[in-house]
Amino acid sequence: MMSKEETNKNNNMLTGMTHECGVFGCIAAGDWPTHIDVAQVICLGLVALQHRGQESAGIVTSEGNNAKNFHVKKGMGMINNIFNDESIRQLKGSLGVGHTRYSTSAASEEVNCQPFVVHTAHGVLCVAHNGEIINKEKLRRKVLERGVGLSTHSDSELITQALCLNPPDGERNGVDWPARIRHLMSLSPLSYSLVLMEKDRIYGVRDPYGNRPLCIGKILPLNCKDENVGEEGWVISSESCGFLSIGARYVREVYPGEIVELSRTGIKTISTVERPDNKPPAFCIFEYVYFARSDSVFEGQMVYSVRMQCGRELAKEACIEADIVSSVPESGTAAAHGFSRQSGIPFAEVLCKNRYVGRTFIQPSARLRQLGVAKKFGALSENVAGKRLILIDDSIVRGNTIGPIIKLLRDAGATEVHVRIASPPLHYPCYMGINIPTREELIANKLDNVQLAKHTGADSLAYLSVEGLKIAVRRQLVPREKDGVGHCTACLTGEYPTELDW
């Protein structure tokens, strides 16, 4: 049987480190109609999640219990290119779901834009998904054997159709969506965070391993400082980073294996599905390293604080004499500040970022990524000239971006450039929503630290150790979060949360 690495290669799948998507949902509280503009809230929420995917986006809204149809707007490109005042006005409703996408398991085409909407015997269902199903081929066969047709290769459509299957012990003609969700979770243990909408309620679902993030917030009345005052609505999101911009307050994460229901009367836990064989949770550790926005909160701690601690641990492990510490902006900046504080070497900015060039990892072709690097930075020559520099970056994947940056700094007059990476080397592919398709693509499998330093033009290069990363992630966890905590380090160690079953 062909391995997934070979399959990906033969299918010309993208290479490099890419995240799949972000999900967002909103529901108004109390009597309807409401003065909350649900579509506008979702649109702003998706803007906050734009870093999780820039290829396509969509919003689906409903007018409540008696609504026979959903209002749908989807398209290719960035949020602000898809939605305008007129399209937002047409998205009427008191609840809705949104999605922003980067493709891993299906082509970047409008047919794969989410959320997916399906008409079933039990009503209309809307599904938004973040993650990648590890046993999707087996699940695909099961769905097809039940006589269900699939129009795309998207994991998300597969999940949507699997949700429409009758549970073995369920009522054949029933509309028990929680039972169908539990059935899906029994068919596939990871990786997914889901936001589902049907009639007058939204369900939030996180896989039993908690591999992908999902959290809940509540919308307070404007200018309200008392959080005990009744809420005006609820939101559910891949990350908490956009909550303040929509007048919402972070409440908590959806726990691993939890199914929550959001309705106009509030939120409640419907069910919790246990992990197989009592295995530990496996939250993706690279959410802390790179993918999440720095003001998001995971496991009771801010991502920025964890990145600073990564820098501190890196300074303990791999400090060297230098005049200044700096970073590759922006996700390396927090770690650079931590390195500076731990080492006592002053921090100074050395790179100016062109903010109108998208993140290089998220472009859909290698050529565009390489062009993006050349256009993305300028050197602050007065801070660089004649200086020995420690340059902090968050990660190295293929190693084709750091070399041009080092050349830029040397051309600006840097006498030494020592590269320090605030995460361990990537050695293994991820099959759970991060696109690292082949081991051959990863530079750490080709060159050791000394060889890589020479290859990139650095004077030296060192990574943070796996143990150092774990210390940084766990150091600030509040006591209640430490119980049963666990992180997936498969791309670093090859230790996957569960058996990979194609």
Closest CA to 327 of 405, 430, 260: 405
316 within 8 A of 486, measured Cβ to Cβ: no
Closest CA to 100 of 134, 74, 132: 74
191 within 8 A of 84, measured Cβ to Cβ: no
DSSP 8-state assignment for residue 50? G
Would the annotation count 126 as a binding residue? no
Closest CA to 39 of 82, 88, 73: 88
Active site residue 43: no
Would the annotation count 393 as a binding residue? yes
Would the annotation count 352 as a binding residue? no
Would the annotation count 323 as a binding residue? no
CA 205, 135, 361, 39 torsion: positive or negative?
negative
Alpha helices in 149-227 (DSSP H): 155-163, 177-187
Q: Give residue 232's identity as a one-letter amino acid code.
A: E
Give the distance, in angstroms, between the CA of residue 15 and the centroid of all CA atoms in the same chain. Answer: 17
Closest CA to 246 of 60, 63, 37, 74: 37
Among the options 21, 126, 241, 319, which is catalytic?
Answer: 21
Q: Give residue 212's identity as a one-letter amino acid code.
A: R
DSSP 8-state assignment for residue 232? S
Closest CA to 341 of 368, 363, 309, 371: 309
Would the annotation count 488 as a binding residue? yes
Would the annotation count 394 as a binding residue? yes
Would the annotation count 501 as a binding residue? no
* Cα distance between residue 162 and residue 377, in whole Å: 45
| Active-site annotation, residues | 21
Annotated binding-site members for [4Fe-4S] cluster? 284, 430, 488, 491
Annotated binding-site members? 284, 331, 393-394, 430, 488, 491
